[in-house]
Amino acid sequence: MKYKAEWYGSKVVEADPFFPSTKRCSNCGNVRGEMPLSERVYECDVCGYEADRELNSARNLASVAASWAETQNACKSGEVHAARLPQGSSHGQVLHEEAGTEHRLGMF
pLDDT tens track for 20-45: 999 999 999 999 999 999 999 999 99
- 7's CB contacts (< 8 A; 6+ apart) are none
Are the C-beta atoms of residues 26 and 49 closer than 8 Å to each other?
yes
Q: How far apart are the first and last CA of the chain?
A: 12
The model's pLDDT over 50-84, given as tens digits with 9 standing for 90+, comes to 999 999 999 999 998 888 776 766 665 444 444 44
Which residue did the predictor score with more confidence, 41 or 5?
Answer: 41
Q: Please state, as a whole number, how many other Cβ atoms lie within 10 Å of the Cβ of residue 61.
A: 20
Counting beta carbons within 10 angstroms of the beta carbon of residue 64, is it exposed (0 to 12), middle (13 to 18) or buried (19 or more)?
Answer: buried
pTM of this structure = 0.61
Confidence of residue 14 (pLDDT cuts 50, 70, 90): confident
